[in-house]
Structure 1
Amino acid sequence: MAIELNDDLIQLQRAAVAAYDEAMREGYTRETWAPWREASTRVQAAVTAHAEATGQNRYEVEMALKKAAQEG
C-alpha cells in the first residue's frame, strides 16, 4: 500500500529541516533551537493526525514524509 501524503505535510517537514540546518549553523542556545523544536512539534502532530485520518501506519507515514521532503 502506497503511503498517501499531501503538500502541506511535505512543506512542514521541509520547514523543520530548514530550521534544523539554521540551528546547526548558529550553535546551541535555547533561542537558536526554538524554531526547530516548534517546527518539529508541528510535524509530529501533523503526521499523527494524518495517519489517524487516513488509517495509515504512523511510522510509515513519517518515513515516507522524510523521503518525500528530500526529493523535492
Structure 2
Amino acid sequence: MAPSFEDLVTLQRTADKAHCRVQQLFDDYGRSPVNEWTEYQRTTWRTAWKSWVDDVCGLQEAIKAYTFEQGREIRQVDADVKKAARQPGTAT
C-alpha cells in the first residue's frame, strides 16, 4: 500500500529538518574544507549528511509509490508535497 499524502508531507518535513541540520553544522564549523575540521566535526557532519540523504531517498521512493497508485505526475506531486510541508498544519 502506498503512503498517504499526509505521510509524504511528514517525510518532506523530516528531510527539510535534516537539511537544516547539515546547513547548521556548516554555519557552526565554517565552510572551510572538511579535511580542516576535527575528527568529531567530520563525523558529526557526515552523520547528519547521511541522515539527510537517507531521508530524501525515502521521500522520493514514497512519492514514486504514491504517484503510481494515484496515477499522477511525479513532478506535480513533488511540488504539492513541498508546498504543503512548508505550510504548517496543512496536508491536502
Q: TM-score, normalised by structure 1?
A: 0.86
Runs (4+) of structure 1 moved beyond 6 Å? none
Matched, 1:41 2:40: no
CA distance in 1, matches of 2:14, 2:22: 12
Aligned residues: 68
C-alpha RMSD of matched pairs (Å): 1.4
1:11 alignment counterpart = 10
2:80 alignment counterpart = 64
2:20 alignment counterpart = 21
Unaligned runs of 5+ in 1: none
Q: Which amino acid aligns with 2:5?
A: N
After superposition, the C-alpha distances for 1:30-67 in whole angstroms (9 at most, x for unaligned) are: 32201100000011001111000000111100011000
Q: Percent identity?
A: 28
Unaligned runs of 5+ in 2: 27-33, 35-44
